[in-house]
């Protein structure tokens, strides 16, 4: 009799916590009702798709956030991000993220570069990183942000914060 190979957990995956699912529009955690069929649309606001992200990256309902695809185009944004950045989601979608946000430090380059972080996160690679950003046309405003992978669909999640440690 042939012995079956033993299954082994890949390093870094066995101890990983499951993703937190939240609405791509209102930011609230997904409400799962066992009696209802599973849906990708938020049951609370009925406007956003449910997105998954690591627990340390997932936004709170009070956090503005953007979803950025692998071409660095905005593919979604929360209602709070619309308010904060002064642009509607319909006007922001398909625009390059640098039309809305840029690194606060003009000298930033290398592995911490915003573009590099967003591309890796949109591919599903990498961990959660913290950066400081500013609106493209503003110089006195700073946003602390967390960037990491989310999905489906695969994208980078850019959560804007106020600088407080979570």
Residue 111's pLDDT is: 39
| Under-50 pLDDT residues of the chain | 34-35, 110-111, 165-166
Residue 109's pLDDT is: 52
Contacts with 152 (C-beta within 8 Å, 6 or more apart), sequence order: 51, 52
| Ordered domains of the chain (ranges, CATH) | 56-161 (3.30.450.20)
CA distance 38 to 34: 8
Residue 80's pLDDT is: 94
Residue 98's pLDDT is: 92
Are 154 and 162 a contacting pair, CB within 8 Å? no
Residue 138's pLDDT is: 86
Query: pTM score, two decimals?
Result: 0.82
Residue 77's pLDDT is: 95
């Amino acid at each position: 009799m042939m012995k079956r190979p033993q299954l082994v957990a890949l390093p870094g995956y066995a101890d990983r916590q499951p993703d937190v699912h939240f609405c791509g529009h209102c930011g609230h955690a997904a409400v799962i009702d066992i009696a209802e069929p599973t849906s990708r649309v938020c049951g609370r606001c009925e406007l956003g798709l449910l997105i998954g992200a690591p627990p340390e990256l997932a936004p709170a309902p009070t956090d503005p956030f953007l979803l950025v695809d692998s071409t660095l185009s905005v593919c979604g944004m929360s209602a709070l991000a619309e308010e904060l950045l002064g642009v509607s989601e319909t006007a922001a979608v398909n625009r390059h993220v640098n039309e809305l946000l840029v690194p606060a430090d003009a000298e930033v380059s290398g592995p911490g570069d915003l573009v590099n972080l967003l591309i890796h996160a949109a591919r599903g690679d990498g961990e959660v990183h913290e950066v400081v950003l500013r609106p493209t046309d503003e110089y006195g405003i700073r946003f602390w942000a967390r960037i990491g992978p989310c999905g489906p669909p695969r994208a980078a999640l850019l959560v804007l914060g106020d600088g407080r440690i979570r």
